[in-house]
Chain A
Amino acid sequence: MSDVAIPAVPESRLQSHFANEQQQYETATFGMWVFLVTEIMFFGGLFTAYLFYRIQYADAFVHASHHLDIVLGTFNTVVLIGSSLTMAMAVHSARMSRSKSIAFWIAATMLLGSIFLGVKAYEYTHKWHEGLFPANFFYSAPDAAQQRIYFSLYFAMTGLHATHMVIGMGIMVIIAWQALKGAYTSRWYTPVEIMGLYWHFVDLVWIFLFPLLYLIGRH
């Protein structure tokens, strides 16, 4: 029995266990969507806890939510949605084989992401000084204990969201660097597409976090 020779150098970026590039691309995007489903369930646990307590402690949640600055929250929402637009433009540039544009739009995304995180850092510091950080809670009010639950969830949810942003921005550095090396063309731009899916998901989570955390009972 003759041995099989080592496979020939793959054409373009086709990996040896795939039959063709279309299959490889579909596999990668489907894989990313499956991963996003796991992320939905991951954040979902926090949303479940939020739902559970919001119903039980509706008033305390309203009082606690009023501590959040609606202007900063709205600003951050606009910034993050803007970063989704710039990310979509990055994917579009990849589709058009425009390497410098990819890097530009990714840099823009990272800039907007950093602004978001900067505002969040400001908000967090402010909460800490007001005694609203759950592990160092010294805010007094009749429903302080339940407000502490709200803030536990606030910091857990926005903290997890921010962690996802930081990880995303870290990967964006690599993608931008690869883009500048000309790695992405209309024939193969899968990492950019997948990065886009991830970043849009981060935006989706915030689209729900914003009304649930900032906009309760403002009337």
Chain B
Amino acid sequence: MESNERRVTYLNAGHTVKSWLLTVDHKRICILYMISITVMFVIGGLMASAIRAELLTPAGDLLSSDTYNKAFTLHGIVMVFFFLIPSIPATMGNFLIPLMIGAKDVAFPKINLLSWYVYLTGATIALVATATGGLDTGWTLYTPYSTAYATTNVVLPATGIFITGFSSILTGFNFIVTIHKMRAPGLTWFRLPLFIWAMYATSLVMVLGTPVVAITILMAILDRCGFGIFDPTAGGDPVLFQHLFWFYSHPAVYIMILPAMGVISEIIPAFTRKKIFGYGFIAASSLAIAIIGFLVWGHHLFTTTQSMYAAVVFSVLTFAVAVPSAVKTFNWAATLYKGSVSFESPMIFALGFMGLFLIGGLTGLFLAILGLDMHVQDTYFVVAHFHYIMVGGAIMGYMGGLHYWWPKISGRIYPELPAKAAALLIFVGFNGTFFPQFIAGYLGMPRRYHYYPPEYQVLNVLSTMGAGILAVGYMLPFFYFMWSLRHGEEAGKNPWGVLGLEWTLDSPPHPHNFHETPIITSEPYDYPEMAREFGEHAGHGTVEAAHV
């Protein structure tokens, strides 16, 4: 233990505020982002609490209509743009990509830091907008309400989102170049960990899609200032706004889920001690999701004046995009089969992900059916569907990854029992919150309404009770992670005893990651060969030239 005190890590190399705020170390930037997005998650969560509290009773008695509209708008904007989109990429992506490819940092470290400041600028502007009156258009900013009729300040929050979009673009572009150009010798594309494939696909989406929402928001801001691009009284077409908005916002959901899937692809082989089933198919499916994901956005426009023919085309393509996701789910399940499964907390999150993502994905297919969508569009069915994917999927993936790599990031082991409790509470609370919403939506309860007919009250009360449990589940990790920083056992290089380049490094790693560039000579997840040497030599087999 004493030698560790003197060991230089990225955490103790430089204690000044300046060394953190002006860092170009990708690992420190991960921490900076982690703190920021946690703050935004709390804000988004408070909005969710306000919504669920209001919906306990059928009457609109807790919040006024206008305030309720602002609550769900802010909940959506904060959770989508300021939490989910950056979540895994800006934290675990930043931390792990150089480690997993044997690099000393990302390709453009200063641009990495810049992306955090851009994110902060956008987030601050959006929060200032909230404090000075808020926005009530819904996070989707549909015209012409947002451009011509809204009485709330649209320009300010829209500008905040516009600016944060550039943070996303900078992160994605950095990752693409890093993965192409900075891989260690011997690390061919098909020896990359699946997390890298997932991050690469995510970055493609970030780079190709985000500029489109940026320009669309800019056009909406211009319209708000008197231009007439989407003004129906001038012949403008609000559906054009929706086409352009969803051209990004649908692929955006893949920005949110692909990294989570990458995390699951890392956790499952680790806790089954087995080579992942169908590596090539999982890698290819990440790219397939990214590409086909750009072709389905019209399914958000089924109930608009989008033509029936376009709707049919989008419906078929939406069915197609489910296929690569299903491929992943089958392959994860096949990996579990006859594996040596252990149920540490990251694995519980991963298994929870598989179940919840399955439900979310299947209900997405229900929504892809034109006839059914006509009935359940803009009801709680849709709300439940996307929360199953974004919360049951993406956030479970985030939590799973956070638990799995926490020892590497912090150098400490968190207590396992509270972690298991948190995972179970989150799973139970999540289903309690959102499953009743499927039923309520199917029975016709519209979304974004703050008063509703009394027959929906039971389902809403169940949902709010579930939300309470979910909130407790989310609060627990904060406490035991913080506890672990002071009192947690020191993690060695490889506390889980698994394979992966990042597990050959110290926990926490040295600022420059590798003392010598590793040379990669084998496939990832090479577990059967490692089974004999499992134990004291675990994790060393894949890296020939790393010195300890």
Contact = CB atoms under 8 A, between A and B. Distances in A.
Interface of A: 1, 3-4, 7, 16-19, 23, 26-27, 30-31, 34-35, 37-39, 41-46, 48-49, 52-53, 56-57, 134-137, 145-146, 148-149, 152-153, 155-156, 160
Contact of A52 (B8, B226, B240): B240
A146 B229 CA distance: 10
Nearest to A45: B215
Interface in B12-35: none
B109 A17 contact: yes
28 contacts: A4-B8, A16-B512, A23-B182, A26-B181, A31-B108, A31-B173, A31-B177, A34-B177, A37-B207, A38-B210, A41-B209, A42-B211, A42-B212, A42-B214, A44-B211, A44-B212, A45-B211, A45-B212, A48-B243, A52-B237, A52-B240, A134-B228, A137-B228, A146-B234, A149-B234, A149-B236, A156-B229, A160-B218
Given A37-B208, A149-B228, A49 B173 contact: no
A145 B235 CA distance: 7
Nearest to B226: A135
A205 B526 CA distance: 49
Contacts of A52: 237, 240
Contacts of A152: 222-223, 227-229
B159 interface: no
Interface string B222-247: 11011111010111110010011001
A30 B178 CA distance: 10
A145 B234 contact: yes
Most buried by A among B180, B222, B237: B222
A7 B182 CA distance: 19
Contact of A135 (B211, B225, B237, B247): B225
A34 B222 contact: no
A156 B220 CA distance: 11
Given A31-B177, A45-B212, A156 B219 contact: yes
B107 A31 contact: yes
B472 to A, nearest CB: 41
A134 B233 CA distance: 13
State the majority secondary structure of interface residues on A.
Answer: helix
Contacts of A43: 215
A186 B169 CA distance: 31
A137 B234 CA distance: 12
Contact of A30 (B103, B180, B212, B218): B180
A49 B240 contact: yes
A54 to B, nearest CB: 12
Contacts of B218: 156, 160
A30 B181 contact: yes
Contacts, number: 125
Given A31-B177, A45-B216, 11 more contacts: A7-B512, A38-B211, A41-B209, A41-B211, A42-B212, A134-B228, A146-B235, A152-B229, A153-B229, A155-B227, A160-B215
A148 B210 CA distance: 27
Contacts of B512: 4, 7, 16
B317 to A, nearest CB: 18
Contact of B207 (A7, A18, A38, A44): A38
- Those 3 A-B pairs whose CB atoms lie nearest each other, nearest first: A135-B226, A45-B215, A42-B211
Q: In this complex, which of A7, A38, A39, A146 has the most chain B Cβ atoms within 10 angstroms of its Cβ? A: A38
Nearest to A150: B228
Q: From A4, A19, A31, A146, name the one whose CB has the most chain B CB atoms within 10 angstroms.
A: A31
Contacts of A39: 211
Nearest to B107: A27
Contact of A4 (B234, B243, B510): B510
Contacts of A37: 207-208
B515 interface: yes
B517 interface: yes
Which of A16, A42, A53 has the most chain B CB atoms closer than 10 A to its own CB? A42
Most chain-A Cβ atoms within 10 A of its Cβ — which of B108, B174, B225? B108
Given A4-B8, A148-B228, A149-B234, A35 B173 contact: yes
Given A45-B215, A46-B219, A149-B235, A30 B207 contact: no
Nearest to A143: B235
A149 B241 CA distance: 14
A52 B235 CA distance: 12
Interface string B270-305: 000000000000000000000000000000000000
A134 B512 CA distance: 54
